[in-house]
Chain A
Amino acid sequence: MTAHLPVLQVIVPLLAAPLCLFLRIPRLVSIFAILVSFAAFLISCGLLSQVLNHGTLIYEMGGWAAPWGIEYRIDLLNGYLLLLITGVSTVVLVAAQSSISRELPENRHTFFYTAYLLCLTGLLGILATGDAFNLFVFLEISALSSYTLIALGNDRRALTASYQYLIMGTIGATFIIIGVGLMYMMTGTLNMHDLAQRLPEIYKSKTVLSAFGFFIVGVCLKLALFPLHLWLPNAYAFAPSIATAFLAATSTKVAVYVLIRYIFSIFGIEFVTTSIPLSEIFLGLGLAGIFAASINAIYQLNIKRLFAYSSVAQIGYMILGLAIGTQLGLTATLLHMFNHALMKGALFLAIGAVVYRISSSQLNHLAGLGKKMPWTMAAIVTGGLSLIGVPLTVGFVSKWYLVVALLDKGWWPVAVLVLLSSLLAVVYVWRLVEWIYFTPPRIILDEVEEAPLSQLIPIWLLVLANLYFGVDTRLTVGVSKLAAQSLFGVTP
């Protein structure tokens, strides 16, 4: 049984998704989805502990040996992210039932859970697989299901947002298969491990270079790197709150993972830094993204959009860590992936609770909620503080490592800019605080009360995780460091 864990990780939610359609009764489906996600979480725990004890796990799909068959390869990097994604997904699902009962008509609940589980399958598949083309297939599974999730939002703008995402996402995915195709042409293999061994001989080839180019552009579209982020704010703003919480916490992280996997495990950092000025490009785009998106966030009226822009900015930090191109930089990126998932999960879930109670996510409707929904609002503020990077929260841990990595590289001015940008986060978070606590209500709040426990518990689980991993960094920092080491170790 334990030998089959890598495939079970993906297959369990995949098989469960259509089963949801047969169960039909929303409450039953919801419990079923939670159980499935929790099972996936347990599997990922098992996988990570196996990886920590025995090193990289290799699973040959259907018993076909690697270069011919599809191989699943679990190492520290994806083991760690599998744990994160399944964990967040489970927590989010606990809050789902009550939240979507307010936001979706009854007859669509089953579809929501089906799409959600398919999306989870896609994300887990991307992480687990060791095959370049298989990765594309899972990328599309997760993308198609997230278009569906977004389109389920009850504002009509959800439809256009989903459409826009579909166009951009498909272009990105197609770019990725062009890249994969070019690499296959040159090497005759699709297995990542094989690719990594065959590519060094043909580094000079223009085809490999263009494969890499197509690949980077495609992935950057998927991960919403500035200026390819235009699809993201609307998609996050108009999707059902639960879908936003899930996607914001997980999908961009997985896209960053794909980027890291290709740069470090397939092409190798040496090729990447010598063939094109990727470091400079990432540095420029990362910084531009951080500033442009943070400034945009300041002017948003809808809190979901506000935090969506903030997500774009946070992706900038992850890319910046990659731009540094050292082991410390990569550690910072990996840490921020984990930490940002915790922050955004908590924030969007809390916003979901607000929408549940006041049916609005307009900033000005939040006025006076500090007294009516103290726990939810405290969660939003804590999440915001974490976003700013206040000590004792996870945001501080990421920022600390990023700045140390920048200083180590000798990039003083960039370090100053990173710190400066966190002040922009102060501005948009504090706008929220002023509305919540120091402004009299704008709408009638008489009947508004605290969010139900089924939402408060998951919200506070994530908030406490924000605080816990801000103090006890052994797991996060330890695993990120080891993963970064092994990624640098593989390539000379």
Chain B
Amino acid sequence: MLSPELMLLLTILVPACAVPAILATGFSANLREGVTITASLLLIVLVSSLYGTVDDGTIVRLAGPELFPGLSLNFSIEPLGMLFSLVAGYLWLVTTVYAIGYMRGHDEDNQTRFYACFAIAISSVMGIAFADNLFTLFIFYEVLTLSTYPLVTHAGTQKAKLGGRVYLGVLLTTSVLFLLLAIIGTWYTAGTLDFAAGGIFPADTPTVVTGSLLVLFIFGIGKAAIMPFHRWLPAAMVAPTPVSALLHAVAVVKAGVFTVMKVCVYIFGLDLLNRLPTTDVMLYLAAATVLIASIVAMRQDNLKARLAYSTVSQLGYITIGALLATSAGVVGGSMHIAMHAFGKITLFFCAGAIMVAAHKTEISQMRGLGWQMPITMTAFFIGSLSIIGLPPTGGTWGKWFLMTGALDAGQWPIMAVLMLSSLLNIAYLLPIPLRAFFSGPSPQGPLRIKEAPLPSLLALSVTAIGCLVLFFLTNPLYRLATAIL
């Protein structure tokens, strides 16, 4: 049995080491994808066995090289990071299976680059999840941005390049201009960047400083897509669907909200957060993001664009959870990280499957599609339920705790926003599968079922079932989420 420290290191190294292997086996598609699958299987084994250490409460810490005096690349395992790495680790395998079907079905170029960059992105996600200080987290945060850029511009068309510019522009601008400044400011005020329960700011730090640092952090974490810095997410939709699915519904955006969570819980601490005047401002901004993004989503006809705006809105939920600064809020926010991941990845998988099998991207073209792609559309229906937060899907729990958190904090407006937004979710998601089955041209002649390639179909079924299973088997996630505080 490996020591937990070594396994921790391996979670980052396994995907990273897959990169040269993928590049070297680029000549043969089967070999290359075999390498990716092996790596993702290994990763699942690693994160699953690490789960035990959190359950036992053992402290696992790994000291890396010291970059500047007092600032090192350190890693440790704590519940929130464990949860994030579990989600990303499991979904990497599923997405890889899906990508094989999608990329071959689409006959894409530069597939070696695609798989290599994907592995770098996963490696940096693991780095983010297990970072022991803000500095380490920032480094991997930037690596994630850069490694996903080639994935966004994968197509190489003018449109892809423009999308890539917006993507990189927004993410780098926010992270360099605000986040880095906030980190250096924190380092300068607090003298440390290590995550610590209850926050790291000395008690006598002026509120002006901590208050403005909070604003800088929330805006600086562009990956959390708080308006007005959300434009990169719809722009990133030019990427191939597996990228949109794993990275822009799970890994990248969740890295953003995860960082928000970490900063709120371990840098500021809930007590300090409760006292800061800017917390409420940011909270209402997040609430506005939730509503506005939902309304914008309703008006999108392109399926991926609608899902993108839906993601923006759902990310707002998690930010709200962190900023409510109550324990139920944090639990709800972190559970929503996992639940939304499963729901949204299912929806994106379906969108990609429709694109590959029926070559349709606009929602208005999808009437009656249900009879042609029944499995896909059923999965879409389940995914929608999870996003909306209706039983029997996992999404229910996240929203439940978020609402409890809002009640605990006495934030009635936030409560109202959450309710209203759920209604909006219903309005923009449910019509898609319903119309696919019950309206449009009725099938003429014998039903011709034409689903996406088998690997893709398999992947989307797995995640859809995952949404259902998570409703019943919430306990491990709940234990992790409650262990955060």
B355 within 8 Å of A (CB atoms): no
A375 vs chain B, min Cβ distance (A): 12
Instruction: Provide the residues of chain B in CB contact with A437, threshold 8 Å.
Output: 150, 153
| Number of A residues with CB within 8 Å of any CB on chain B | 29
Chain B residues near A474 (CB-CB < 8 A): 66
Indicate if the CB atoms of B184 and A471 lie closer than 8 Å: no
Contact yes or no, B181 A403, CB < 8 A: yes
User: When chains A and B are docked, how far (Å) is the Cα of A312 from the Cα of B367?
Assistant: 59
Instruction: Tell me the complex Cα distance, A389–B187, Å.
Output: 18
Q: Is B176 an interface residue (CB 8 A)?
A: yes
Q: Chain B residues near A202 (CB, 8 Å)? A: none
Q: Mark B59-76, 1 if CB is under 8 A from A, else 0.
A: 000000111110001000
Which A residues lie within 8 Å of B176 (CB)? 389, 419, 422-423, 426
- Pair B160/A438 contact, Cβ less than 8 Å: yes
Whether B180 lies near A403 (C-beta < 8 A) is yes
Contacts of B190 in A (CB 8 A): none
Interface check B390, CB cutoff 8 A: no
Q: Mark A462-480, 1 if CB is under 8 A from B, else 0.
A: 0000000011111001000
Please determine whether B181 and A472 come into contact, CB atoms closer than 8 angstroms: no
Which among A408, A416, A419, A471 has the highest number of chain B CB atoms within 10 Å?
A: A419
Provide the residues of chain A in CB contact with B139, threshold 8 Å: 391-392
Q: Contacts A385-B146, A419-B177, A423-B177: A473 and B68 contacting too (C-beta < 8 A)?
A: yes
Q: Which of B65, B73, B168, B188 contacts A408 (CB 8 A)?
A: B188
B67 near A471 with CB under 8 A, answer yes
Shortest distance between the CB of A393 and any CB in chain B (Å)? 10
| B67 contacts A473, C-beta separation under 8 Å | yes
Measured CA separation A391–B180 after assembly (Å): 10
Q: B165 contacts which chain A residues (CB < 8 A)?
A: 430
- The minimal Cβ–Cβ distance linking B402 to chain A, given in whole angstroms, is 33
Q: How far is the CA of A13 from the CA of B153 in the complex (A)?
A: 49
B143 at the interface (CB under 8 A from A): yes
Instruction: Name the one of A416, A438, A471 contacting B65, with C-beta atoms under 8 angstroms.
Output: A471
Residue A38 CB within 8 A of the other chain: no
B409 to chain A, nearest CB (A): 32
Give min CB distance, A308 to chain B, whole Å: 24
Q: Which of A408, A419, A470, A477 contacts B180 (CB 8 A)?
A: A419
Known contacts: A391-B143, A426-B172. The answer to whether A407 contacts B185 by CB under 8 A is yes
Say whether A232 faces chain B, with CB atoms less than 8 Å apart.
no
- Smallest beta-carbon distance A444→chain B, Å: 19
A178 at interface (Cβ–Cβ under 8 A)? no
A155 CB within 8 Å of chain B: no
Whether a CB of chain B sits under 8 angstroms from the CB of A460 is: no
Contacts of A406-425 to chain B: CB distance below 8 A: 407-408, 415-416, 419-420, 422-423
Given the interface pairs A426-B172, A438-B156, the reply to whether A391 lies near B142 with Cβ below 8 Å is: yes
- Tell yes or no: A51 within 8 A of B by CB: no
**In the complex, residue of chain B having the shortest beta-carbon distance to the beta carbon of A434:** B161
Contact yes or no, A477 B68, CB < 8 A: yes
Q: A423-B176, A434-B161 are in contact. Are A404 and B184 (CB under 8 A)?
A: yes
Contact partner, A400, options B65, B68, B177, Cβ 8 Å: B68
Q: Is A397 an interface residue (CB 8 A)?
A: yes
Residue A7, interface by CB 8 Å: no
Chain B: minimal CB distance from A469 (Å): 10
CA distance A423 to B172 in the complex (A): 8
A415-B188 contact in complex given A392-B139, A400-B68, A437-B150, C-beta closer than 8 Å = no
Closest CB-CB distance, A147 to chain B, in whole Å?
A: 39
| Residues in B lying within 8 Å of A, measured CB to CB | 65-69, 73, 138-139, 142-143, 146, 150, 153, 156, 160-161, 164-165, 168-169, 172-173, 176-177, 180-181, 184-185, 187-188
- A-B contacts, 18 of them at CB < 8 A, read A390-B142, A400-B68, A403-B180, A407-B188, A408-B188, A415-B181, A415-B184, A416-B177, A416-B181, A419-B177, A419-B180, A420-B177, A426-B168, A430-B168, A434-B161, A434-B164, A472-B65, A474-B66
Beyond the given pairs A400-B184, A407-B185, 12 more chain A to chain B contacts, judged by CB atoms under 8 angstroms and listed by A's residue number, are A391-B138, A391-B142, A392-B139, A403-B180, A404-B184, A407-B188, A430-B165, A434-B153, A434-B164, A438-B156, A438-B161, A471-B67
Using CB atoms and an 8 Å cutoff, list the residues of chain A in contact with chain B. 385, 389-392, 397, 400, 403-404, 407-408, 415-416, 419-420, 422-423, 426, 430, 434, 437-439, 470-474, 477
Q: Which 5 A-B pairs have the closest CB atoms?
A: A391-B139, A438-B156, A407-B188, A403-B184, A419-B177
